[in-house]
């Protein structure tokens, strides 16, 4: 599973690839349509698509003479489960922490700490 996560997160690490995934949320797209909004060659976009395909985040299919890209959202499931495991920790409640500091340090010192950049 670690190798799969590494590949998925590496693919997601590039803003162009994240943009492509966002575009594919709407519908399947032809490769040329995927490439249209980017200021790069079709070959460069194809390399991004290859990385996304290897990560399992998209699939590519030839329909007639046109190559189409389709989002594969299930590929994100393992990454999502891994990230959600960090959700078990309570978020820090800053108001409660501030009240704690005021109790422990006194209001003047807590205000000084709060106002210090």
**Per-residue tens of pLDDT for the chain, all 117 residues:** 578 889 999 999 999 999 999 999 999 999 999 999 999 999 999 999 999 999 999 999 999 999 999 999 888 888 888 888 777 655 666 667 667 666 766 666 545 555 555
Q: Any idea which residue has 């501030």 for tokens?
A: 98
C-beta separation of 31 from 46 below 8 A: yes
Give residue 106's pLDDT.
65
Give residue 110's pLDDT.
47
Q: Any idea which residue has 């190798």 for tokens?
A: 3
Give residue 114's pLDDT.
52
Q: What is the CA radius of gyration of the chain?
A: 23
Give residue 83's pLDDT.
82
Give residue 105's pLDDT.
67
98: enclosing H helix or E strand? helix 94-105
């Amino acid at each position: 599973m670690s190798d799969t996560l590494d590949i998925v997160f590496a693919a997601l690490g590039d803003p162009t690839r994240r943009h492509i995934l966002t575009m594919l949320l709407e519908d399947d797209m032809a490769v040329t349509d995927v490439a249209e909004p980017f200021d790069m060659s079709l070959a460069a976009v194809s390399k991004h698509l290859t990385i996304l395909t290897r990560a399992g985040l998209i699939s590519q299919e030839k329909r007639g003479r046109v190559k189409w890209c389709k989002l594969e959202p299930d590929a994100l499931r393992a990454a999502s489960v891994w990230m959600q495991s960090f959700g078990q920790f309570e978020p820090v409640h800053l108001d409660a922490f501030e009240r704690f500091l005021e109790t422990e340090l006194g209001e003047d010192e807590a205000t000084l700490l709060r106002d210090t950049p």
